[in-house]
């Protein structure tokens, strides 16, 4: 079937790789995601750069390029309608990249791509009805129904991060208040940790010392590292994110009734410190609890590479059938 390149565009990085038919990444490339204030062409240049770097060293034909974007992708699989963390607004991305890349281009939401990869190669193998929740800068979502990616009438199903869970809550980058991703994401984790350090809370002494009293130096991976070392406050911060994660998934189970939830994205690196509180909250909030089967909640197997693996595989299928 040939090799394909997958490109995963997130809030902070553009990760790309050459992927074979078994889902194995043969070569990788990476660049920083341009600031949202820059012209869309700068993002396009970044994509062209990482794809070109990979194609220059490929020893077999590249049959397609798949792009997983953190945003709303129109039903034409060619246009980025809206990307909260980037400058894209009705951006005809496939058209812009077509003459610059070479192989056919397939575009999808990054969480859809991750869901596809986890179903074909990872934690959701064998499940025809599954949901992917990606926790990174925000929350992404992917839905698999009857073994196929469900994208909705206009192509933008799965934007779970922007469900309102707290009326009048924290302002979200999408413009609304109280979105789920304001309570269960890497940004939420960092915001709460920085609040404690800024207040010089005695509960955050370890975190305070790690960043020498500078809250701006706090990152999600650092909070996770401190939690894994046994710091109670960091553990509590992750558990709070996990609790909000479980509440949201219980709502999704009421609507979609999947067999499995796969949790991926950078925050999932916390493992059971995040997943077990999510399971507990899910069981407490699940409609009809005790009288219905419960979906499994598991950590993604493919890690941060699921998006680019899925984008590559979807692109390959789009041209080879």
Look up the CATH number of the domain holding residue 199.
3.30.420.40
pLDDT in tens, 259-279: 999 999 889 999 999 999 999
pLDDT in tens, 18-37: 999 999 999 999 998 777 65
Residue 141 CA to chain centroid, in angstroms? 7
Say yes or no: 263 and 246 in one domain. yes
Q: What is the pLDDT of residue 13?
A: 80
Q: How far apart are CA 288 and CA 144, in angstroms?
A: 23
Q: What is the pLDDT of residue 99?
A: 84
Say yes or no: 86 and 145 in one domain. no
Total tally of structural domains belonging to the chain: 2
Q: What is the pLDDT of residue 295?
A: 97
Residue 189 CA to chain centroid, in angstroms? 15
Q: What is the pLDDT of residue 174?
A: 82
Say yes or no: 109 and 82 in one domain. yes
Task: Specify if 39 maps to a domain.
Answer: yes
Q: What is the pLDDT of residue 37?
A: 57
Say yes or no: 101 and 231 in one domain. no
Task: Specify if 121 maps to a domain.
Answer: no
Q: Per the confidence metrics, is the pTM higher than 0.85?
A: yes
Q: What is the pLDDT of residue 217?
A: 95
Say yes or no: 156 and 104 in one domain. no
Task: Specify if 149 maps to a domain.
Answer: yes
Say yes or no: 27 and 167 in one domain. no
Say yes or no: 179 and 276 in one domain. yes
Percentage of the chain beyond pLDDT 90 is 79
Say yes or no: 64 and 152 in one domain. no
For 98, the domain range is 3-116+305-320
Say yes or no: 136 and 110 in one domain. no
Task: Specify if 123 maps to a domain.
Answer: no
Say yes or no: 162 and 278 in one domain. yes
Ranges of the chain whose pLDDT falls below 70: 11, 36-39, 84-85, 321
Say yes or no: 198 and 159 in one domain. yes
Say yes or no: 204 and 137 in one domain. yes
């Amino acid at each position: 079937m040939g090799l394909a390149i997958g490109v995963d565009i997130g809030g902070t990085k553009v990760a790309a790789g050459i992927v074979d038919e078994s889902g194995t990444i043969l070569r990788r490339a990476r660049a920083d995601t341009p600031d949202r204030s820059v012209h869309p062409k700068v993002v396009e240049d970044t994509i062209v750069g990482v794809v070109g770097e990979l194609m220059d060293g490929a020893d077999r034909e590249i049959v397609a390029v798949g792009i997983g974007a953190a945003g709303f992708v129109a039903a034409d699989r060619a246009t980025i309608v809206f990307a909260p963390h980037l400058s894209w607004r009705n951006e005809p991305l496939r058209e812009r990249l077509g003459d610059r890349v070479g192989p056919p281009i397939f575009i999808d939401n990054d969480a859809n791509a991750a869901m596809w990869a986890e179903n074909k190669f990872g934690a959701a193998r064998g499940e025809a009805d599954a949901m992917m929740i990606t926790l990174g800068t925000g929350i992404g979502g992917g839905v698999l129904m009857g073994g196929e990616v469900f994208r909705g009438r206009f192509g933008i199903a799965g934007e779970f991060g922007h469900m309102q869970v707290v009326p009048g809550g924290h302002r979200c980058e999408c413009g609304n208040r109280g979105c789920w991703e304001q309570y269960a994401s890497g940004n939420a984790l960092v915001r709460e940790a920085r609040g404690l350090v800024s207040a010089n809370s005695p509960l955050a002494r370890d975190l305070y010392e790690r960043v020498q009293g500078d809250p701006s130096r706090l990152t999600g991976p650092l909070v996770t590292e401190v939690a894994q070392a046994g710091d109670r406050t960091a553990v509590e911060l992750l558990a709070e994110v996990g609790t909000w994660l479980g509440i949201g998934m219980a709502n999704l189970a009421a609507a979609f009734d999947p067999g499995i939830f796969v949790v991926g994205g950078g925050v999932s690196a916390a493992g059971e410190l995040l997943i077990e509180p999510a399971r507990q909250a899910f069981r407490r909030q699940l409609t009809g609890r005790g009288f219905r089967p419960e979906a499994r909640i598991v950590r993604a197997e493919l890690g941060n590479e699921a998006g680019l693996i899925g984008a590559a595989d979807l692109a390959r299928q789009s041209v080879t059938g």
